């Protein structure tokens, strides 16, 4: 029987990735479509993609598929032919990364989930067949110039912080499921106005657009392919970018630069900076913004407390972080900057892990 999961250590896989003599292409794609048996679909995907040396994260559910992968350049055509040969995916758009060194993933993980985007929607009448109208880059720019148009950012705070569209309203919440009702509240009274929603690759704003229509809004649009596809289109068509700054991405790169504007600041010293990193203390791993000077001063840590911990003997570090849920800090959505790290490391465990989109 074929092995349908990885059995090699992460360190070894990273080493192999760095030694590869060929280029890789980072691609993201998703599609809402019915999958009767997600586990069977997942296993067939793994058997097809593993021989092509595809790395990345793929989530499969009854409502569809969501993927961020890295494909060897010489296998790209075979990969594309396979994906486009699947039922419902013949016209699937593959979003190729804008700013890419090909080192985004080093292992293939395909997981079955309840939904490809956790939404908290319990109304059985809701479905994804009725959704907002797609808009391309040129149409997005035109809508942004209309003072009567409301633009809603359906991404997380740490994404909005480093880059967003002009006039975009942030929906600051810890989860997408909380953002949906908050977006309804933010748009109350604008049921007949133009509403444009966007996200990183399109998957969240597509579901959000369907949710808005389900709740009585009439003129709902969503950016086709999200910020990733928009960035390609403005380059190809020579359009002005209405998106300012950097587009956060959920892989090892943590960002694609769209414009030269730096609109965020180092969380430690306040200097203009939009470089995300995870705290080097394994008992923390907080995702935060850190400039080069603070990176050198704190050795990649988010606080002096974490630096002190990092300098302790390894066994003592393991003792301190035993039982701590650090998942809440990776891709943390809170607007709170650097928290009192020492109390957290020695105190209560955290809340639920945040979602990846």
Catalytic residue selected from 199, 205, 291, 302: 199
Contacts of 178 (CB under 8 A, 6+ apart): 120
In whole angstroms, what is the distance from residue 60 CA to residue 297 CA? 42
In whole angstroms, what is the distance from residue 107 CA to residue 281 CA? 23
A 10 A CB-CB count for 292 gives 11
284 is catalytic: no
- The C-alpha R_g of the chain, in whole angstroms, comes to 21
Contacts of 13 (CB under 8 A, 6+ apart): 6, 106, 107
Nearest Cα to Cα of residue 68 among 201, 207, 176: 201
Active site residues: 199
């Amino acid at each position: 029987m074929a092995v349908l999961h990885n059995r090699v250590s992460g360190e070894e896989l990273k080493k192999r990735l760095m030694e590869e003599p060929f280029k890789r292409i980072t691609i993201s794609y998703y599609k809402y479509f019915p999958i009767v048996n997600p586990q069977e679909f997942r296993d067939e995907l793994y058997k097809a993609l593993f021989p092509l040396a595809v790395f990345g994260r793929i989530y499969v559910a009854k409502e569809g598929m969501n993927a961020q992968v890295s494909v060897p350049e010489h296998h790209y055509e075979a990969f594309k032919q396979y994906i486009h040969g699947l039922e419902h995916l013949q016209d699937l758009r593959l979003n190729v990364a804008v700013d890419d060194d090909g080192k985004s993933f080093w292992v293939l993980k395909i997981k079955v989930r309840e939904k490809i985007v956790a939404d908290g929607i319990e109304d059985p009448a809701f479905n994804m067949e009725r959704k907002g109208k797609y808009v391309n880059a040129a149409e997005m720019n035109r809508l942004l110039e209309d003072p009567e148009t409301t633009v809603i950012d359906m991404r997380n705070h740490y994404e909005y912080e480093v880059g967003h569209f002009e006039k975009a309203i942030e929906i600051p919440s810890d989860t997408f499921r909380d953002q949906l009702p908050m977006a309804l509240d933010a748009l109350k009274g604008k049921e007949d106005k133009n509403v444009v929603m966007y996200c990183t690759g399109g998957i969240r704003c597509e579901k959000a657009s369907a949710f808005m229509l389900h709740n009585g809004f009439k003129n709902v649009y969503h950016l086709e392919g999200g910020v990733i596809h928009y960035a390609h289109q403005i380059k190809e068509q020579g359009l002005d970018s209405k998106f300012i700054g950097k587009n956060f991405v959920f892989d090892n790169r943590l960002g694609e630069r769209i414009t030269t504007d730096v609109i965020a600041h180092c969380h430690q010293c306040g200097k203009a900076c939009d470089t995300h990193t995870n705290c080097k203390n394994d008992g923390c791993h907080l995702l935060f913004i850190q400039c080069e000077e603070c990176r050198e001063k704190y050795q990649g840590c988010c606080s002096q407390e974490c630096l002190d911990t990092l300098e302790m003997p390894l066994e003592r570090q393991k003792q301190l972080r035993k039982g701590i849920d650090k998942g809440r800090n990776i891709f943390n959505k809170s607007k709170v900057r650097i928290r009192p790290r020492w109390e957290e490391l020695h105190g209560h465990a955290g809340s639920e892990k945040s979602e990846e989109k």
